[in-house]
């Protein structure tokens, strides 16, 4: 399976880059993992609604340019349905069995995701009703993808 994570912003803290690198290394036995970083735009202090919309659109255009027509796209959205780890694993297995072995996960920036990106999604996925920093979300996503592969392989990591 080929996993692409399209994320707005760079990982800046070493503990996050180390954690991400560890999960990418662990995932390498199950398939390839590619990280695509979209530059995040500086958000002015007194940003207007129109400026927010323009920033989201600009990020959305950059994200959409990294998605191929045949990829199964999963957007991480706070308002989306949440799955258990087992349900997430089953969804990844279903993708693989259904011929969707190229999956793109999309993590937005501080403002979230543009509607055009959400509308492109084959699956909108929520991790929590809580808000997480988008840099930390990348590590959480990598861990959950790794957990899903371990569950599908019948291995003991999950428990």
95, 101 in Cβ contact below 8 A? yes
Among candidate residues 127, 123, 132, 84, the one with its CA nearest the CA of residue 104: 123
Q: Tens digit of pLDDT for each residue in 46-92?
A: 888 899 899 999 999 999 999 999 999 999 998 898 999 999 999 99
pLDDT band for position 101 (cuts 50, 70, 90): confident
In the chain, the domains with their CATH numbers are: 2-158 (3.40.1280.10)
Q: Tens digit of pLDDT for each residue in 112-121?
A: 999 999 999 9
In the chain, what percentage of residues exceed pLDDT 90? 77
40, 9 in Cβ contact below 8 A? yes
pTM given for the model: 0.93
CA atoms within 13 A of residue 141's CA, in its CB half-sphere: 26
Within the chain, how many helices (H) and strands (E) appear? 5, 5
Alpha-carbon distance of 127 to 91, in angstroms, equals 15
Q: Strand pairing of 32-38 and 72-76?
A: unpaired
**Is the confidence at residue 45, as pLDDT, over 90?**
no
Handedness of CA 70, 76, 81, 85 (dihedral sign): positive
User: What pLDDT was estimated at residue 65?
Assistant: 98
């Amino acid at each position: 399976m080929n996993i692409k994570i399209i994320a707005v912003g760079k990982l800046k803290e070493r503990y996050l880059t180390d954690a991400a690198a560890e999960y990418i290394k662990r995932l390498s036995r199950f398939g390839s993992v590619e990280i695509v970083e979209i530059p995040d735009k500086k958000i002015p202090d007194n940003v207007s609604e129109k400026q927010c919309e323009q920033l989201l659109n600009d990020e959305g255009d950059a994200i959409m340019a990294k998605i191929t027509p045949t990829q199964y796209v999963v957007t991480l959205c706070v308002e989306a349905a949440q799955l258990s780890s087992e349900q997430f694993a089953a969804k990844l297995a279903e993708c693989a069995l259904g011929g969707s072995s190229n999956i793109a996960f999309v993590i937005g920036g501080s403002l979230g995701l543009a509607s055009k990106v959400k509308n492109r999604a084959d699956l909108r996925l929520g991790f929590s009703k809580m808000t997480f920093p988008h840099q930390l979300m990348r590590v959480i996503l990598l861990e959950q993808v790794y957990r899903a592969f371990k569950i599908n392989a019948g291995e003991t990591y999950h428990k």
